[in-house]
Amino acid sequence: MCSKLLYLATGLVATAFVVACAEPSMDTTEVAVSDNLDGNVLLAEWTGPYSGVPAFDGMDLAALKPALEAGMAMQLEEIDAIAANLEPPTFDNTILAMERAGRDLDRVLTYWGIWRGNLSTPAFREIQREMSPRLAEFRTKIRQNEALFARIRAVYEGGEMETLRPDEQRLVWLIYDRFARNGATLEGEARERYAEIDKRLAELYTQFSNNVLADEEGYVLYLTEDQLGGLPESFVGAAAAAAAYREREGEYAITNTRSSMDPFLTFSDERDLREQVWRTYYGRGDNGDEYDNNDIISEILQLRDERVQLLGYDNYAQWRLQDRMAKTPESVFDLLEEVWPAALARVEEEVADMQAIADAEGAGVTIEPWDYRYYAEKVRQEKYDLDSDELKGYLQLDKLVEAMHFVAGELFSFEFTPVPEGSVPVFHEDVQVFEVTDKTSGDHVGLWYLDPYARPGKRSGAWATTYRSHETFDGLRTVLSSNNSNFIKGGPGEPILISWDDAETLFHEFGHALHSLSSAVDYPTLNSGVRDFTEFQSQLLERWLLTDEVVDNYLVHHETGEPMPAELVAKIQKAATFNQGFMTTEYLASALVDMKYHTVDPTEIDPDGFERQALAELEMPSEIVMRHRSPHFGHIFSGEGYASGYYGYIWAEVLTADAAEAFAAAPGGFYDEELAKRLVANLFAARNSLDPADAYRVFRGRDATIDALMRDRGFPVDAAG
């Protein structure tokens, strides 16, 4: 089975093969492996240093389709051999045999993921449209292999289970549950219809994500020098570089991505341009043109509902949450609705503060969504004397990367060393590669790839990907992990200065990479994540950004080299709960609408109307919109990883806030050696080898409560009760 992991943060999708498609030209069972294998770099074993690395420098798009065809055929041969084994089913000849299957296709899908996320082109998207349903059919064919499932069930229900280690028992359960909850128990027409739905959904997921990408690439606002009022010098330089890249020398490009939109709305004095940028960004996928996603959403929701009905579930959310920490839709709604009133109350206070400043300036405006960031920044400066542009001067991308490596060294005993130039292939000249070793033993742990900059063809947001996961059962396989961002390059020789939010996101995504790099599990499937737990590790790492050790050594001014002064640090700490009404409400709105979409009858649903009605029922403030409006909500409509699961960020934040309080109270603070060892062993290295709730209890000695989260956001603790 494919053991790839793909994590998303802002604007990200969590699935390895989300693509759009045409009818397949042949059934995967008809592919002759030998016709497609010889000389295909995408199928070839990884060679070179560090136990082998992907041949990113040899990627050939012409080889992709044949490689996919051959990889699928090879894995089906492996699966058929397991299913046809005449020996009684055992852990070794069934479960471990499945863990070994699909290595060739895994390698191909690594390259697929690079083209999809980092190097997308029209030619690649054509291949997506053709191959997506074939990948869906392939996965369904494995899940619906009756003889295979019979062997899995025999191991799961057999006496051998009692002799297995706890992690091996969990491996058997994870594989059994994956099959049972994905149609393996269906028969006849229900089985056929399930397969048809999976195939169609694969088409729709890719069409959705490609439509969003088209709107991100197709809408660029070019400014002249007289339209730059209020914009920081660093942002102006980046906008000039972005325009020059698009052969518009002398102009300034505001791209349709969060990394460009957010600072523009925060600083631009041109209110009409702020509105234009806001409407363009939040209108992605919702323009009534060929890239409009509303009809696609409707069909996705109906197909998902029909599919889980075949399995006997009342709604999609009920099916999705059974293997999550939350377990039921009711428990998710309980959490979200506990926090929602406090968030709304804070928004009311924030809007009042902003309106007061606008009135005092004689602006003659009522706060609108495109004003929120702009006037919030003015409030920040007035109430906390905290200037975002001043703060950015201490946030250099290269120094922040060094800071992340320092933290990883202190907590995980990892050392990051740049590999010699040219020794490891990369897929773009911007990509940097580091070897990760254990500082104590000197042992090789893996490689870490960093792809930090925005470019055409790269999807927006920030995410982490694992090209190869840790395992030991067939010999040690070390980790190949990556982080991907969309920072705007400055001019030649200029430092890349980023916002505080972007710095937190950088640490956040690095937390996902550390989760992969610290893995100590034996089997590939145990590297898979429980979605509402996997955000915990990344959210927690954000807390080290403002520790004294990081501030004093890495948050240094780009001109003077002086560390961030204590006064500025104090302002950041004082303003830690600033704008939490906005941030919590825009997030919770998206999470609540996601849950509502997947707990109602979706027949003839109109996404635009449904979104408006759902927000009205929630009494959503008019000054704020959902963080991800439905037509570009890639987390839930470009795949299924976060569908009925976007709540997972705040579910994990409950754990994060609670764990952070443990570090704050520890004798050694955030670098407490004993607590760090418990954290790594139980909540990072263990991966999915045990239930996350049990793992957290071992670390903390008890369950987490919502109180720490409420304190963390500056909300009254009793507001949750």
Q: DSSP 3-state assignment of 447?
A: strand
Q: How many angstroms separate the first and last alpha carbons of the chain?
A: 44
Question: Please, which residues have CB within 8 angstroms of residue 350's CB and are 6 or more apart in sequence?
Answer: 376, 379, 579, 581, 582
Tokens of 348: 């009311």
The Cα-based distances of 527 to 171, 591, 688 in angstroms read 10, 26, 6
Chain centroid to Cα 493, Å, comes to 31
> Strand 479-487 relative to strand 444-453: parallel, antiparallel, unpaired?
parallel
Residue-wise burial string across 206-239, b where 16 or more C-beta atoms lie within 10 A, e elsewhere: bbbbbbbbbbbbebbbebeeebbeebbebbebbb
> Which has the closest alpha carbon to 623: 383, 357, 366?
366
Q: Which residues contact residue 226 at a Cβ distance below 8 angstroms, ignoring those fewer than 6 apart?
A: none
Task: Count the neighbouring beta carbons within 10 Å of the beta carbon of residue 665.
Answer: 10
DSSP code, position 556: B
For the chain, give the number of residues.
721
Annotate 472-492 with DSSP letters as a single string: -BTB-B-EEEEEEEEEPP-ST
Please give the structure tokens belonging to residue 150. 């019979």
For 153-214, strand residue ranges (E) read none
Q: Looking at the annotation, which residues are catalytic?
A: 509
Tokens of 660: 């952070």
Cβ neighbours of residue 137 closer than 8 Å, sequence gap 6 or more:
24, 27, 28, 195, 198, 199
CA atoms of 617 and 70, how far apart (whole Å): 51
| β pairing state of 463-468 and 479-487 | antiparallel
Helix (H, G, I), strand (E, B) or coil at 45: coil
Q: Cα(8)–Cα(396) distance, rounded to whole angstroms?
A: 23
Name which of 512, 518, 520, 505 is nearest 536 in CA terms: 512
- Tell me the one-letter amino acid at 620: M
Question: Percent helix, strand and coil across the chain, each rounded to 5?
Answer: 55, 10, 35
The alpha carbon of 100 is separated from its chain's Cα centroid by a whole number of angstroms, namely: 26
| Angle between helix 103-117 and helix 122-143 axes, rounded to 10 deg | 140
To which H or E segment does residue 446 belong?
strand 444-453
In Å, how far are 183, 194, 333 from 189, measured between CA atoms? 12, 8, 35
Residue 686 tokens read as 């263990």
Residue type, 244: A
Greatest Cα-to-Cα distance within the chain, rounded to the nearest angstrom? 84
